[in-house]
Amino acid sequence: MSLSEEWIARGDRHVAKTYGRYPLVATRGDGCRLWDADGKEYLDFLAGVAVNNLGHCPPKVVTALQEQAAKLLHCSNYFHIPAQIELAELLCAHSFGDRVFFCNSGAEANEAAMKLARKHSREASGQDRFEVITALASFHGRTIGTISATGQEKVRSGFEPVVPGFKFVPFGDLQALRAAVGPNTCAVMLEPLQGEGGVNVPPPGYLAEVRRICDEFGLLLIFDEVQVGCGRTGRLFAYQYEGVEPDIMTLAKALAGGPPIGAMVAREKIAESLGPGTHGSTFGGNPLMAAAGVAAFRTILEDGVIENCVAMGDYLRERLEEFKGRYPIVTEIRGRGLILGMQLSVEGGEMVKEALRRGLLINCTVGNVLRFLPPLIVTRQEIDEAVDILDGILAEQ
């Protein structure tokens, strides 16, 4: 039995079986590379599902964690935390926002956003406005609240009754969105680009018109940028593609370069509805995670990460587009920056497994969309290596 097999057997005895895990025991990472317990090397084009935007073990984040861990690991949010304050300043200076609430994950950030939307809307209107419109194929988290907001039946199945107060409309359908607005509607919550739902890019002008509809009916606009924020699309935030600013934005995944953190960013007039005692998080924005967040965010801003994302995103798309002419099962390439999806006319799950066997990590969403999420520091050589592996797999289909 190999060392990897030993770890897998031990995990099978005690770790909850909530994931369909692949037979890879990750023990070390560096840049765009990951190694398993037996020393096999992988080219990582999944990046922890858009968490490792700076690659594995980015030096500035590692240093920040080491230095902060030697000074203060945790203290209560009853007290002021310098690194938390600094990260909030950075987020507000580079976005539409004025206030930041810190938590531990994207689901928690979305829970905070929905709570804020309900509370602020009731206070501002004096009416019982609590409904949130979200999109079909959306994904907002795994808590009871966020699965209720998620537009995928498979995510909600088995956990009914879900939380009431959500309506679902097709992503990109403005007529359906307008028709869904009712007297109890308080907000619209969308991913500016859907990731888990199949790497779905909004039609041109869609987000701008959603903003206008929200303004017309006095609704809050929430953008869930948990997967597509922090440079992933070739902009610091995905909403910047159309110059459309939300009222509330949620972040997590890549915000700290690997360590767990989430954030809800909001405008001042709206954020003030969550006063002392209305919401909280024991570990949210603690010194260790906030220090990592400062280091990661500064790296994105200062080290040419977004510029590389744009250039390498264009190159990866160009290489993937070559497959459309050679392999009939490849029907579309879509996405922005370094979140790209390859639509297939067949199921893609077995191709993901074969890529793993050949040393390439990718995944498949909605059954037939291969998703590519390499670190934003990826090189042309690494893209060529990944494309060559994928080419060999497609040639055998």
Per-residue model confidence as pLDDT tens digits over 71-103 = 999 999 999 999 999 999 999 999 999 999 999
Residue 376: the pLDDT is 98
Question: Could you confirm whether 224 is annotated as catalytic?
Answer: yes
Quickly state the pLDDT bin for 311 (edges 50, 70, 90).
Answer: very high
Q: What is the pLDDT of residues 107-140, one digit of tens each?
A: 999 999 999 999 999 999 999 999 999 999 999 9
What percentage of the chain's residues is helix, strand, coil (to nearest 5)? 40, 20, 40
pTM of the complete model: 0.97
Query: How large a percentage of the chain has pLDDT more than 70?
Result: 100
Residue 370: the pLDDT is 98
Residue 206, both tokens:
């869609």
Give all domains of the chain, ordered by start, each with its CATH number. Answer: 3-57+304-394 (3.90.1150.10), 72-302 (3.40.640.10)
Among 139, 237, 297, 372, the active-site one is 139
Residue 178: the pLDDT is 98
Quickly state the pLDDT bin for 21 (edges 50, 70, 90).
Answer: very high
199: left (phi over 0), alpha (psi -120 to 50) or beta: left
Among 96, 253, 297, 372, the active-site one is 253
Q: What is the pLDDT of residues 230-289, one digit of tens each?
A: 999 999 999 999 899 999 999 999 999 999 999 999 999 999 999 999 999 999 999 999
3 state DSSP class of 192:
coil
Q: What is the pLDDT of residues 349-394, one digit of tens each?
A: 999 999 999 999 999 999 999 999 999 999 999 999 999 999 999 9
Q: Which residues contact 216 (CB under 8 A, 6 or more apart)?
A: none
Q: What is the pLDDT of residues 331-359, one digit of tens each?
A: 999 999 999 999 999 999 999 999 999 99
Question: Could you confirm whether 314 is annotated as catalytic?
Answer: no
Among 171, 224, 237, 247, the active-site one is 224
Question: Could you confirm whether 217 is annotated as catalytic?
Answer: no
209/200 Cα distance (integer angstroms): 17
363/372 Cα distance (integer angstroms): 7
140/152 Cα distance (integer angstroms): 10
Three-class SS string for 319-383?
Answer: HHHHHHHHCCCEEEEEEECCEEEEEECCCCHHHHHHHHHCCEECEEECCCEEEECCCCCCCHHHH
Q: Do residues 338 and 317 make contact, with C-beta atoms less than 8 angstroms apart?
A: no
